[in-house]
């Protein structure tokens, strides 16, 4: 029997676990949260004892059935509140999985797992482009606002502006409205023409995604009901206030996202929720030695195998495509990792391929325009952890002695703070590439989660095979 470890219990990880169990494997699922579901199916805390958790969820019934099937399976160990802080590659075998169990960022609870096959399903976090004032309290990532509303019933503000690009902005606005907030407007930076071109090209390919379209239509209806306008070709180009967001500056954008001068408008607001796509969480794949596709996503073959032996990848780390596509990939990865015959899952493979086509379409419809740096000012913070501003980065990039990405990093400190570049890396890489400099998206964080020195110095609590 194959011992499969699945990292992440979102749509991809849960589907992987389900299929690996079906293939006959012994499965261990690891997740940081208390409950499975990942960000898409973020569940309310158990202590809330909610009578109607399904009212906050899309596709709750199918999800709930799957999570029960996985958790209650005799060959499955579901380990909540577990953080993987390192993967240790081994020749011709799956890497060792180093974990910390217990409350987040707490001491103690170190253990090592020794899987025969490893499925990585670590997901993504919001990408946010910087703008003047984006470091003010009251500016949230779109995902944070939704996580708080859906997962804790906390509303980030009462006069909220949602901005960025991508269909994700709609469910975020809907979650805020559902929770009783007032969403002043939803701003999609891409113009309607780009959206139409991206979404309608080869329309027949979209038919299998009809469920997704219905979901989006539901969000659109919710916005209409609350009279929240959805506007294209516009963005928040600055947030202002004394110690917190008090107003935002909105501007019309050209198709390349450079603001049209003279179109700026000031709107009083107490919160901004911004999301310009997603950054895949690649530290564990990189630590496992997985090759990346153009430096952006984990490279996988037709059966979700990575370039690293016995390591499979699924979900947003292989391409941003949303929950159904992630689940389809997870199902393939789990089945194959668990020792199942790929010839037996043609239906799953077809569903996975449709998910990949959807990812390509999403990327075409919601690109990041090249003109966004026009809204930066010299003093705009790029690295939130270290306070590195745009002026400092430009100076470093102009200095021929600092051509190497590493030198820019050391000279400006961008990416050297506690988040280790998770938030600013895409920004710094893009601004560097624009000036012809050497680009390095690090993702190389051998310590993937904070671990206290005392825990590192001591032996793991127990060694266990999976």
Partner 1 sequence: MSPRMVPAAADRAGRTDRPLSITVDGAPVSGIEGQSIAGVLLGAGRLSWRRGPSGPRGVFCGIGACFDCLVTVNGEPDVRACRRAAVDGDTVLTQERA
Instruction: Examine residue 457 and tell whether it contacts partner 1 (CB under 8 A).
Output: no
- Closest approach, Cβ 43 to partner 1, in A, equals 10
Complex with partner 1: residue 32 or 430, whichever CB lies closer: 32
Complex with partner 1: residue 180 or 211, whichever CB lies closer: 180
- For 246, the 3-state DSSP assignment is coil
Query: x/- binding map, residues 24-63, to partner 1, per CB under 8 A?
Result: --------x-x----x----xxxxxxxxxx-xx-------
Instruction: Examine residue 417 and tell whether it contacts partner 1 (CB under 8 A).
Output: yes
Instruction: Examine residue 204 and tell whether it contacts partner 1 (CB under 8 A).
Output: no
- For 446, the 3-state DSSP assignment is coil
Count of alpha carbons within 13 Å of 39, Cβ hemisphere only?
A: 23
H or E element at residue 107: none
- Closest approach, Cβ 178 to partner 1, in A, equals 7
- For 194, the 3-state DSSP assignment is helix
Residue 415 near residue 405, CB atoms below 8 Å: no
* DSSP class per residue in 290-344: --EETTTEE---TTSB-SSTTEEE-GGGG----HHHHHHHHHHHHHHHTT--GGG
Query: x/- binding map, residues 111-130, to partner 1, per CB under 8 A?
Result: --------------xx----
Complex with partner 1: residue 241 or 367, whichever CB lies closer: 241
Residue 13 near residue 39, CB atoms below 8 Å: no
Q: Which residues within the stretch 249-278 sit at the binding site for partner 1 (CB under 8 A)?
A: 270-271
Structure-block tokens of residue 441: 């998206």
d(CA 405, CA 390): 16
Instruction: Examine residue 139 and tell whether it contacts partner 1 (CB under 8 A).
Output: yes
Complex with partner 1: residue 69 or 391, whichever CB lies closer: 391
Instruction: Examine residue 381 and tell whether it contacts partner 1 (CB under 8 A).
Output: yes
H or E element at residue 431: helix 425-434
Residue 368 near residue 166, CB atoms below 8 Å: no
Instruction: Examine residue 428 and tell whether it contacts partner 1 (CB under 8 A).
Output: no
- Closest approach, Cβ 172 to partner 1, in A, equals 11
Residues forming the site for partner 1 (CB under 8 A): 32, 34, 39, 44-53, 55-56, 103-107, 125-126, 135-141, 143-145, 147-149, 152-159, 178-180, 243-244, 270-271, 281, 381, 384-387, 389, 417-419, 422-423, 450
């Amino acid at each position: 029997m194959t011992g499969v470890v699945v990292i992440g219990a979102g749509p991809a990880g849960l589907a992987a676990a389900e299929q690996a169990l079906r293939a006959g494997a012994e499965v261990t699922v690891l997740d940081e949260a208390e409950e499975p579901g990942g960000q898409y199916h973020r569940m309310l805390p158990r202590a809330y004892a909610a009578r109607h958790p399904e009212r906050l969820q899309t596709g709750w019934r199918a999800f709930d059935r799957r999570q029960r099937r996985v958790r209650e399976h005799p060959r499955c160990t579901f380990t909540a509140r577990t953080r993987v802080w390192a993967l240790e590659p081994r020749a011709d075998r799956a890497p060792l999985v180093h974990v910390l169990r217990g409350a987040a960022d707490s001491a103690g609870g170190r253990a090592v797992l020794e899987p025969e096959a490893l499925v990585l399903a670590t997901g993504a976090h919001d990408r946010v482009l910087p703008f003047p004032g984006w470091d003010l309290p009251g500016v949230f990532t779109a995902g944070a606002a939704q996580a708080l509303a859906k997962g804790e019933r906390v509303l980030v503000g009462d006069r909220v502006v949602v901005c960025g690009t991508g269909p994700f902005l709609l469910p975020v606005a809907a979650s805020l409205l559902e929770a009783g907030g007032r969403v002043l407007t939803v701003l999609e930076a891409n113009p309607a023409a780009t959206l139409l071109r991206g979404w309608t090209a080869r329309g027949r390919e979209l038919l299998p995604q009809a469920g997704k379209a219905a979901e989006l239509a539901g969000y659109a209806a919710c916005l209409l009901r609350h009279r929240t306008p959805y506007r294209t070709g516009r963005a928040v180009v600055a947030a202002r206030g004394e110690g917190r967001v008090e107003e935002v500056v909105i501007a019309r954008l050209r198709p390349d996202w450079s603001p049209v001068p003279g179109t700026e408008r000031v709107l009083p607001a107490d919160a901004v929720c911004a999301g310009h796509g997603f950054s895949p969480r690649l530290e564990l794949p990189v630590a496992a030695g997985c090759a990346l596709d153009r430096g952006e996503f984990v490279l996988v073959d037709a059966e979700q195998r990575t370039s690293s032996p016995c390591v499979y990848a699924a979900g947003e780390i292989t391409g941003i495509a949303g929950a159904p596509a992630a689940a389809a990939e997870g199902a393939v990865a789990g089945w194959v990792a668990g020792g199942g015959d790929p010839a037996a899952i043609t239906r799953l493979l077809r569903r996975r391929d449709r998910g990949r086509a959807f990812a390509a379409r999403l990327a075409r419809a919601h690109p990041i325009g090249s003109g966004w740096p026009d809204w930066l000012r010299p003093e705009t913070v790029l690295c939130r952890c270290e306070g590195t501003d745009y002026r400092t980065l430009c100076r470093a990039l102009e200095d021929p002695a600092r051509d190497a990405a590493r030198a820019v990093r050391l000279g400006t400190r961008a990416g050297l703070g506690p988040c280790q570049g998770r938030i600013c890396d895409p920004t710094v890489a893009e601004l560097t590439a624009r000036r012809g400099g050497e680009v390095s998206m690090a993702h190389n964080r051998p310590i993937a989660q904070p671990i206290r020195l005392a825990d590192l110095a001591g032996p793991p609590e127990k060694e266990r095979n999976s």
